[in-house]
Amino acid sequence: MNPALGALLLGACCIALSPIFVRLSEAGPTATAFWRVALAVPVLWLLLFLRNRPSTKENFSGKAWLLLAAGVAFAGDLAFWHTSIKYTSVANSTLLANLASIFVTLAVWIFFRQRPTGVFLAGLAAALIGVAMLVQTSLAFSPTGLLGDALGVVTAMFYAWYILVVKNLRDRGETVLRLMAITSTLTAVILLPVALASGDQMLPQSTYGWCVLLGLALISHAAGQGLIAYALAHLPATFSSVGLLLQPVIAAAFAWALLAEPLVPLQIAGGVVVLVGIYLARRGST
């Protein structure tokens, strides 16, 4: 197997485990988001030092505000997504969070006047139909599902913001590993007071709880994001974007196998429609 393809698939599996870790966490959702990045930060900085031996005189000129914006966006993404996972199904939450690519194109349309293509608009329409089907299943099976689905959509908005800022930083010469280290550090600093103010359970109550948080930080955050970044650098963009659509599918499969979370026919159909919509939207925005 092509190493880059293997990295893409393994990275998708690692990231797909993150909602499972969140559901199993003994800490509150925002506190879990804090530990997710805080426990990964030392590993990321160590890897960066070993790989690049960065100078203490790194040039942040013109990038400090962008790095801060990336940290704020990622903090919002994690806080809303982790809360969404607590209120709705893993499948719904993960699928809705993947609407980020659609919000990226909508933002470019609104702020930069770049008109979307017909293929993108068809994808947007399909995604909205799929979202309606997912929401219908939430209304039928869970009193908190609608709130969780709404938070999943908000997650996608924050992640779209993060993607746009990171693209700007990458265009200015920032490396993926350095971006991960800096934004994870800023995200941890932002999430700590938010978690404390929210009244979340901050500390796990057992060794098992700490293992769950370490798995989330090291497997899903550090390893998952790192493998995806490696794959994206070595695979065609179109193929990679399609391959990443496996992540919500794998997450739903993990939730079914590990959490006994059922998948009803309408939900499966809605998920398929959402994935088709995201695929078309990505094709129409390249």
Contact 131, 269 (CB under 8 A): no
Contacts of 70 (CB under 8 A, 6+ apart): 162, 165, 166, 169, 179, 182, 183, 186
Domain assignment of residue 226, given as a range:
3-53+60-284
Dihedral sign for Cα 224, 233, 93, 157, please: positive
pLDDT at 186 (0 to 100):
96
pLDDT in tens, 4-49: 788 888 888 898 899 999 999 999 999 999 999 999 999 999 988 8
Q: Which of 158, 163, 184, 195 is nearest to 80 (CA)?
A: 158
Contact 74, 183 (CB under 8 A): yes
Q: What angle do CA 277, 279, 283 make, to 5 degrees?
A: 115
pLDDT in tens, 89-147: 888 898 888 888 788 778 877 777 777 778 878 888 888 888 888 888 877 777 888 89
Residue 167 pLDDT exceeds 60: yes
Would you call 65 exposed, middle or buried from its count of C-beta atoms within 10 A (0-12, 13-18, 19+)? exposed
pLDDT at 242 (0 to 100):
63
Cα atoms in the 13 Å half-sphere on the side-chain side of 185: 12
- Rounded CA-CA distance 83/30 in Å is 7
Number of folded domains that form the chain: 1
Overall average pLDDT of the 165-185 stretch: 85
Rg of the chain (C-alpha set): 18
Overall average pLDDT of the 157-173 stretch: 85
Q: What is the pTM of this model?
A: 0.86
Contact 34, 191 (CB under 8 A): yes
- Per-residue pLDDT band for 56 (boundaries 50, 70, 90) equals very low
